[in-house]
A and B are shown apart, each in its own frame.
Chain A
Amino acid sequence: MNLRADFHKKLGDFNLDVRLEAGEEITSILGASGCGKSMTLKCIAGIEKPDRGYIELNGRVLFDSERKIDLPPQKRGVGYLFQNYALFPDMTVRKNILCGAKGSGSRMEKEEKLRRMLHLFRLEGLEDHKPSQLSGGQQQRTALARIMISEPELLLLDEPFSALDAHLRDALKIEVKELLRGYGKTVLMVTHSRDEAYNMSDRVGVMHDGTLLAVRPVKELFADPGTVQAAVITGCKNIANAKWAGPHEALVPEWGITLQTAQELRRDLTAVGIRAHYFRPGGTQNAFPVVFAGEMEEPFEMIQQFRYVGQAEGSANIWWRLAKEKRPQQFPATIGIAPVNVLPLYEAQPADAVFPHGTESEEGR
């Protein structure tokens, strides 16, 4: 792995615990705002200092609290794309980008690199513009060009699309993803948007309250979030506490039902989740009588809310999301769910140690 990080930082009563490995791919940290995502990036970049731990990039030690190693950001070879892009307001696009090429070769070489960046990021003709004269997308490309010209070994992206208008965002996501693929280095992105995480990354780790949970392949995480925290952040609408009732049976007292699951359940089952898209009206598996509770129209979909007959008072309505044209004329009397779509959820475990205790030596790195 190119990046290995294992560190801890205490901020008031907030504890940041990060164990992370990332290779030449796009890895995302997905979490709600204020969960410690940005702080994680700042620690890796050297802007903030962890209380203890170890950070290594391509075999170089960036931070080691035991050996008192703490490289300044200038020496880490880490590119950082800030949420607001942090372009220098008093410099032109050209000067901004050249800032990333300080002390790397002759004037001629720098000009050549600059020309390549302007071309790659489609900034030709904007060289003499100030950042305030650029659109959001152009600002983002300038910031990326400025980072890329410095040839970082690791690229950190902090909510790269949140400052853009919604209609620009999707087009830019595709564009940036292509650019990053061509770059072929390690990319670590943080985001609060499950769509962005899904669109952009190869692997995703969910961060909750300062603790980074296991980093997993993106499709696997969305198909089987495994913890309540991951289920919530990946957009699972229906989550209820559950108890083990058999190898494939989960008792859900809140909903007053027992669900069959395809996955074999562990005895420490704490909850189940059902994504709003997967309900089937009148199905035969896991079908239970329901009553209509409300509906809301979206541009292309319908949200229908219902409650199981026998569902506990005060518990949240169940969300069912379906295409508009599939909306039933009459609300079904029973609604089913395929056992494969019942997601078993367990207690969150922090990621496995990146460096097993006591063997933190040079060998094996």
Chain B
Amino acid sequence: MDWYPLYNSLRIAAISCVLVFFTGIFFAYYASRLPRLVKGILDVVLTLPMVLPPTVCGYFLLLVFGMRRPVGAFLAQHGIRFVMTWYGGILAASVVAFPLMYRTARGAFESFDETLAYAGQTLGLSNTYIFWRIRMPACRQGILAGTVLAFARALGEYGATSMLIGYTPGRTATISTTVYQLWRINDEAGAMFWVLVNLAISTVVLLTVNMLETRQKHMR
């Protein structure tokens, strides 16, 4: 039994999730304090990957990071190539999952009671402390929801991933690309197996979130 697709999918999803967690929060925080017009424009740009077909995202990624494109060629000279490598999957999954984190976190930040931050400032608390100890805990519901959505999206990413890193068994194969490949070569049992694996992971993730949420309610 080759477990590589599971291992690869999990590490791509986990690393993308961490990346998207920080970048999403960063952009959400700054976007929520921008003037309305700038925010509107930034919002469209940052949300586009969510509404574009993933294959179109993959196409754009190839336009930038393709081996014959300036950026891709430059990176290749330094030993980094996103095309047909497992870590290219991180790039693809992150781009597609980013808007989910960004939008949910932004919603949470916008409903934050700003007087809490002001109170912290007048009490002499540093802005870093206020952000991590006051703003983030108050917004944790939205941020947690965003993180889970981003993880789930990254785990299930197919379109952009297959465009950018293709399917190479044991090197770039993920669960979703494996399902497609096995089905294509009429290995229905194999495809079904990976479908069940995917279902199991998603169920566990959702159950965990529900449990965390109910526990928080009890703690309040």
Contact = CB atoms under 8 A, between A and B. Distances in A.
B194 to A, nearest CB: 41
B115 A84 contact: yes
Nearest to B137: A90
A78 B124 contact: no
B210 interface: no
A69 to B, nearest CB: 17
B138 A90 contact: yes
Contacts of B77: none
A35 interface: no
Interface in A192-214: none
Contacts of A82: 115, 118-119
A86 B116 contact: yes
Interface in A145-192: 146-147, 150, 152
Interface in B95-126: 113, 115-116, 118-126
A292 interface: no
A89 B119 CA distance: 12
Interface string A93-137: 000000110110000000000000000000000000010100000
A76 interface: yes
A48 to B, nearest CB: 10
Given A73-B118, A99-B125, A130 B220 contact: yes
Given A89-B138, A90-B137, A45 B123 contact: no
A99 B120 CA distance: 8
Interface string A46-90: 110000000000000000000000001110101110111010111
Contacts of A45: 118, 122
Interface residues of B, number: 18
Contacts of A130: 220
Interface in B16-71: none
A261 B53 CA distance: 82
A99 B115 contact: no
Interface residues of A, number: 28
Contacts of A147: 122-123
B122 A76 contact: yes
Contacts of A74: 121-122, 124-126
Interface string B193-220: 0000000000000000000000000001
Nearest to A143: B119
A80 B124 contact: no
B115 A86 contact: yes
Contacts of B14: none
Interface string B152-181: 000000000000000000000000000000
B132 to A, nearest CB: 12
Q: Which residue among B118, B119, B134 has the maximum number of chain A CB atoms within 10 Å of its CB?
A: B119
Given A74-B126, A130-B220, A132-B220, A86 B121 contact: no
A84 B220 CA distance: 19
B113 A86 contact: yes
Contact of A86 (B119, B124, B126, B137): B119
A73 B113 contact: no
Interface in A26-56: 42, 45-47
Nearest to B136: A90
B115 to A, nearest CB: 4
A150 B116 contact: no
A130 B138 CA distance: 13
Interface string B126-140: 100100011001100
B125 A80 contact: no
Contacts of A78: 122
Contacts of A100: 123-124
Most central of B121, B124, B126 by chain A CB within 10 Å: B124
A86 B125 contact: no
B124 A102 contact: yes
A72 B121 contact: yes
A99 B124 CA distance: 8
B48 to A, nearest CB: 33
A88 B116 contact: yes
Contacts of A150: 123-124
Given A86-B116, A88-B116, A79 B122 contact: yes
28 contacts: A45-B122, A46-B122, A47-B118, A72-B121, A74-B125, A74-B126, A76-B122, A79-B122, A80-B119, A80-B122, A82-B115, A82-B119, A83-B115, A84-B113, A84-B115, A86-B113, A86-B115, A86-B118, A86-B119, A90-B137, A99-B125, A100-B123, A102-B123, A102-B124, A102-B125, A103-B124, A130-B220, A146-B123
Interface of B: 113, 115-116, 118-126, 129, 133-134, 137-138, 220
Interface of A: 42, 45-47, 72-74, 76, 78-80, 82-84, 86, 88-90, 99-100, 102-103, 130, 132, 146-147, 150, 152
Given A82-B119, A102-B125, A150-B124, 19 more contacts: A42-B118, A45-B118, A45-B122, A47-B121, A74-B124, A80-B118, A80-B119, A82-B115, A83-B115, A84-B113, A84-B115, A86-B119, A88-B133, A89-B116, A99-B120, A100-B123, A102-B124, A146-B123, A147-B123
The 6 closest A-B pairs by CB, nearest first: A86-B119, A73-B121, A90-B137, A80-B122, A86-B115, A100-B123
